[in-house]
Chains A and B, each alone.
Chain A
Amino acid sequence: MRITRRSFLAGTAAVAATLPFPAIAQNKPVKIGLLTVKTGPLAAGGIQMEQGTIRFMKDRNYTLAGRKVELIVADTGGNPAGTKTKTQELVERDGVDMIFGPLAAFELLAISDYTAQAKTPVLSLAAAEDMTQRRPNPYFIRASATSSQNMHPLADYAAKELKYKRVMTLADDFAFGHEQMAGFGRVFEDGGGRIAKKLWPPLVTPDYTPYIAQITGVDAVVQGFASSNPLKFMKQYRDAGLKLPVLGGGTAADDALLKSYGDEAVGMISCSFYTADLDTPSNKRLVDGMVKDYGNIPGLYAAGLYINGIVAEGALEKTGGKTDDREAFNKALRSVSLTDTPRGPLSFDHLGNVVGSFYIRRTERKGDKLVNTTIKTYPKVSQFWTYDEKWFLSQAVYSRDFPPLKS
């Protein structure tokens, strides 16, 4: 059992952090709080988030823009109330300068107002659309993707290159699943395709057969599952003898999940903001480091946090390492524009969401391993895809029933 040692002087540190001590500030470390999930059902992604963060800090020798970094990891347990308490711990007791994480949208929504009031920048993977759309939080920055940002290019590819006419969608019945499939549906139907049916198995579904049995009369199946569900679904789908092609979002064929898959995943076409086969110097470094330290290639959770680290570094370089003026630091974060990250070039829109590359990959077997091979890159993808921002924001947020299917 490992006991994480942490400063017990927290009480005084929190007070110090709220007072302006510019002279001392340069000497004290930058404090980064990582909100992640290390226990319970969501732990897989959460542990990878921690691994990605630690990998980044090691690559920089825990020094960003000349300042030492102190990383404080907090386990939210994957529930919103726990996340709120842990956020208070990081902000009020530890006085962190910024927060990485949390993992899930429902965790992020629970702390959004609080972190905005506390003027603490949050760099999260959580994909909740409205956080950078209709209910933007000025202190929230997302370098990964909104739920639908993966799905817009995937739908474009399905309609234009794969020339599918009718598909059926299946996704976890929660906001992330709803938003993914709404995004897919809008672009796919605008591209001339039709969604025959949308199915929403509950998050906890031991047997997908009642849903798989309804798949008929379509060119392909689009799955938007997350966590361990993509694996369970694909196995049961192939076991049932279905041969239709399967498309998926970022979590469906995540690189880190490939080692858990068998041949049922071969041929899956997926779209993600991160792909392990991207040939850039920083990605090579990330992949090598992850394989060396943890024995597996990174997926979007580890890479997403690594990228957050690079973004934070970029902002610190802009402010000369200063974080005391939170507004200035927050501005610096949003104006970061990078050419070499593990996901390729990226910048942020005025709402704090990433504009970056998205990769269409095919899952293939290479020797005894499964790999994702990039078959098309969509550069500079915005959260609004090719739609006009004003029009997009005037529409309701993506949900289970919006936009309605054309038929």
Chain B
Amino acid sequence: MSVSLLLAINSITLGGLLFLLSAGFSLIFGLMKIPNLTHGSFFMLGAYLSTTLIARGFDFWTAALVAGVLVAVFGTIVERLILRRLAGAELAQVLVTLGLSFMIADVCLMVWTGDPIRIDTPAALRGTTSVMGLGFPIYRLAVSLIAVVFAAGLWGLLDRTRLGAMIRAGVDDAPMARVVGIRVSRLFTVVFGLGAWLAGFAGVIGGPILSVYPGLDQEMLPLALVVVILGGSGSLLGSFVGSFVVGFLYNFGQAMFPELAYVVLFLPMLLVLVVRPQGLFGRQAV
């Protein structure tokens, strides 16, 4: 019983981290229809950058924000220079984003060596707290709180601001948005930058749990894909719910069906796709 409760709490905290990871991916895919296969690399790059910033004396939270900004700058440059020429060319997008992920992985190996680097938990959030009589790491609870705050913030941005209205218009019908005077191209840059920032920031937030090492990018990318597919792309609610669904599947699947550990995410994803190809919350693909 206590194990189940522990797993349930952990599912929520892992779901929080997955939401931070996948929200940006979903946003980019929803608006720009770009399957951004560098998303895992952005996550890893953010984590690596923060280790350098922290070593230079930044505190954890500043490092997380700044690393996110650096990743966002990089993402914006990629969008401006390359991706915007490729609107609608999905195969070229796959090639270029995978090519970039090779390059980022190799640069990280060169700069930060192959040794794993741990990221210290921020001092205020170390230790465990008692949740319904069970010890649980405070930091993980904080991560789920951050995810909720971000979800609310993103929802507010999309639902309550002018920028959000433009983004929604772009997601629904980009040509029509153009006609009514929305500068979709600038919007794309903003959204891509925001998505990259979220990924880089998530990498730092995940750091105290995952640490950072070569291959982290390729571990995280499939998770983002699974979340977005389960939840439905382009839907904030979808990636929010999808994250927690994946959190629960992962925790209970690994613990209760160790024989199925390798397919515990992909089998449900396959079932959902076969039954409902647009995902749990997605709209019918055009």
Partners in one complex: yes
Instruction: List residues of A whose CB falls within 8 A of some B CB.
Output: 39-41, 43-47, 173, 199-202, 204-207, 209-211, 213-214, 227-228, 231-232, 235-236, 239-241, 256-257, 259-262
- Is A260 touching B117 in the complex (CB atoms < 8 A)? yes
- Is B106 touching A214 in the complex (CB atoms < 8 A)? no
| Complex Cα gap A149–B106 (Å) | 34
- Is B214 touching A210 in the complex (CB atoms < 8 A)? no
Distance between B177 CB and nearest chain A CB, rounded to angstroms: 37
- Is B109 touching A260 in the complex (CB atoms < 8 A)? no
B214 to chain A: which residues have CB within 8 Å?
40-41, 43-44, 228
| Complex Cα gap A257–B136 (Å) | 27
| Complex Cα gap A261–B211 (Å) | 10
- In the complex where A43-B109, A228-B213 touch, is A206 in contact with B255 (Cβ < 8 A)? no
A205 to chain B: which residues have CB within 8 Å?
254
A207 to chain B: which residues have CB within 8 Å?
10, 14, 209-210, 250-251
- Is A41 touching B215 in the complex (CB atoms < 8 A)? yes
Distance between A248 CB and nearest chain B CB, rounded to angstroms: 15
Q: Does B133 contact A (CB under 8 A)?
A: no
Can you report 13 residue pairs joining A to B where beta carbons are below 8 Å apart? A41-B214, A46-B114, A205-B254, A206-B223, A209-B251, A213-B255, A214-B3, A232-B116, A239-B137, A240-B137, A241-B137, A256-B115, A260-B117
A231 to chain B: which residues have CB within 8 Å?
116, 118, 211, 213
| Complex Cα gap A304–B109 (Å) | 22
Interface centre among B127, B219, B258 (most CB of A within 10 A): B258
B278 to chain A: which residues have CB within 8 Å?
none
* Leading 9 A-B pairs by shortest Cβ distance: A41-B215, A44-B114, A228-B116, A43-B114, A228-B213, A210-B254, A210-B255, A241-B128, A241-B135
Contact of B109 (CB < 8 Å), options: A39, A45, A173, A235: A39
| Complex Cα gap A240–B135 (Å) | 7
Interface centre among B10, B109, B114, B139 (most CB of A within 10 A): B114
Q: Does B169 contact A (CB under 8 A)?
A: no
B137 to chain A: which residues have CB within 8 Å?
239-241
| Complex Cα gap A261–B116 (Å) | 9
State which size class the interface on B falls in.
35 or more
Q: Does B172 contact A (CB under 8 A)?
A: no
**Interface majority SS (helix, strand, loop, mixed), chain B:** helix
B208 to chain A: which residues have CB within 8 Å?
235, 239
- Known contacts A209-B10, A240-B137, then 10 further A-B pairs from the complex at CB < 8 Å, ordered by chain A residue: A43-B114, A44-B116, A44-B213, A209-B7, A209-B14, A231-B211, A241-B127, A241-B137, A262-B118, A262-B120
- Is B213 touching A213 in the complex (CB atoms < 8 A)? no
A173 to chain B: which residues have CB within 8 Å?
261
Measured CB to CB, the nearest residue on chain B to A46 is B114
- In the complex where A39-B106, A235-B118, A260-B117 touch, is A210 in contact with B250 (Cβ < 8 A)? yes
Q: Does B6 contact A (CB under 8 A)?
A: yes
- Is B115 touching A214 in the complex (CB atoms < 8 A)? no
- Is B262 touching A260 in the complex (CB atoms < 8 A)? no
Distance between B194 CB and nearest chain A CB, rounded to angstroms: 24
Measured CB to CB, the nearest residue on chain A to B140 is A239
- Is A47 touching B250 in the complex (CB atoms < 8 A)? no
- In the complex where A206-B220, A232-B211 touch, is A239 in contact with B255 (Cβ < 8 A)? no
| Complex Cα gap A261–B105 (Å) | 22
**Could you tell me which residues of chain B, from 108 to 161, have a CB within 8 Å of some CB in chain A?**
109, 113-118, 120-121, 127-128, 135-137, 139-140
Distance between B86 CB and nearest chain A CB, rounded to angstroms: 27
Distance between B227 CB and nearest chain A CB, rounded to angstroms: 13
A199 to chain B: which residues have CB within 8 Å?
258
- Is A239 touching B139 in the complex (CB atoms < 8 A)? yes
**Could you tell me which residues of chain B, from 85 to 117, have a CB within 8 Å of some CB in chain A?**
105-106, 109, 113-117
- In the complex where A40-B215, A173-B261 touch, is A213 in contact with B114 (Cβ < 8 A)? no
